[in-house]
Amino acid sequence: MAHFGVDLWLAPAQNILMTDWFTSQDMPVFTGSSTKYPISASIGCVHAGNDAQMPGCQQNVDDIIKAVESGEPIDGFTVTMGDVQFCAANVIRMAIEADV
How confident is residue 7, by pLDDT bands cut at 50, 70 and 90?
Answer: very low
Question: Can you list the pairs that 54-61 forms with residues at least 24 positions away whose Cβ atoms lie under 8 Å?
Answer: 54/18, 54/19, 54/20, 54/21, 54/22, 55/21, 55/22, 56/24, 56/25, 57/24, 57/25, 59/25, 60/24, 60/25
How confident is residue 70, by pLDDT bands cut at 50, 70 and 90?
Answer: very high
Higher per-residue confidence, 17 vs 24: 17
Q: Tell me what the mean pLDDT of segment 46-50 comes to.
A: 85
Higher per-residue confidence, 53 vs 12: 53
Task: State the pTM of this model.
Answer: 0.68
